[in-house]
Chain A
């Protein structure tokens, strides 16, 4: 059973539909205690990083306990950013902190770049994934495959980055450390490539 965390940051209908399409079993825990029976966790979310403050210490502990058991955890969009220490978008809110670094506004240095290309923020639309190393989450995904993004803040490229995307700057679009993974894009809105990534995550759940 996948625990799909609903902390009020955006609508989960699309994620639910994609999981149902892939025949995954999932439910939304109402309390952190209910995470004990989960064998995987998904932290979705769109919007302001501030919203992740709804995931207080009790949720951090509950999620950490299930991850320590070896269960996979997937952060989607805001959920990926939450895996890091924090974000400039809401400096007072601490992330889960499993991955080092701070998320920052996509600053393309408008005017400073020697290019005529217009970089609007938010970054909305289909952009390419560039694989930086082997990854179980990206199995079957081809270098350059495109996925659907909608965000203004992004995570830095660190050792945890397995896929990066370029939009004025390079940012981490896929992170992975053992059973902890995150995607900045929306796999539930990224056609067959996105479904493949979700399937890889579901397949990671131990029988």
Chain B
């Protein structure tokens, strides 16, 4: 049976992880490669590196981070943040990324999804959607949630899949950082609308939140950042918890 994936997100700036690095009992937490190594040991299924600075001069540092992480872990590695054209995507892939996540650029130039899907295959192209509830609709925000658009998240997910995206990374702006649970309504609305896997993001606070997003939310994968920093075995503990609740996950030996 296909497992539900647990994905760790590393927000990286100038080669260091910048979110949730000051928790106790965490050594070398600022280094993405050592953090990835620990997560790998603990049974993480996939790693996402989000470059939160994403300026031109920092692109070199990002490539170096990708190189170091991909030399440590032999798991799917996705890279996003400020990828605006084919050359940015190519640099990340050459450095060792397996998947590229596009957010603002995909909405502004949707043909980029098709171009990259043709060049690298759909499995390498992820459309990242940041959505916010407005009345009974989910509206898309771009530029790291700074700029509202009039696009509907479900419609855009469908279009992006048609244009060649192979997965959706769906973040609820309302839930992000609140630790009060994923937005299961948003997740199931998108998951039912597209034929491709949906990764839910934003709001993970407890293990039960993961149960909810995999059942009510119909997510194929769930992504979190800070929850995994709390203790040394968060990933394996979470996976055992999910197993006991009948949710199929990969248990590493």
Give residues in A with beta carbon < 8 Å to B: 9-11, 13-14, 17-18, 21, 46-48, 118, 120-128, 142, 146, 148, 150-151, 166-167, 186, 188-192, 194-195
Contacts and interface: CB of A to CB of B under 8 A. Distances in A.
Contacts of A142: 253
The listed residue with most B CB atoms (<10 A of its CB), out of A21, A48, A123, A126, is: A126
A142 B166 CA distance: 30
A2 B253 CA distance: 30
Contact of A21 (B74, B121, B221): B74
Nearest to B4: A125
Q: Which of the four size classes fits the interface of chain B? A: 35 or more
A199 B197 CA distance: 31
B3 A122 contact: no
Contacts of B196: 120, 122, 124
B1 interface: yes
Given A17-B70, A21-B74, A192-B253, A125 B221 contact: yes
Contacts, number: 97
Interface in B194-236: 195-197, 218, 220-221
The listed residue with most A CB atoms (<10 A of its CB), out of B1, B167, B220, B250, is: B250
29 contacts: A9-B121, A11-B98, A11-B120, A11-B124, A13-B95, A17-B71, A17-B96, A21-B71, A46-B121, A46-B123, A46-B124, A48-B121, A120-B197, A121-B195, A122-B197, A123-B2, A124-B197, A125-B4, A125-B220, A126-B5, A126-B45, A127-B2, A151-B123, A166-B1, A188-B74, A189-B75, A189-B98, A191-B75, A195-B74
B70 A10 contact: no
A11 B95 CA distance: 11
Contact of B220 (A11, A120, A190): A120
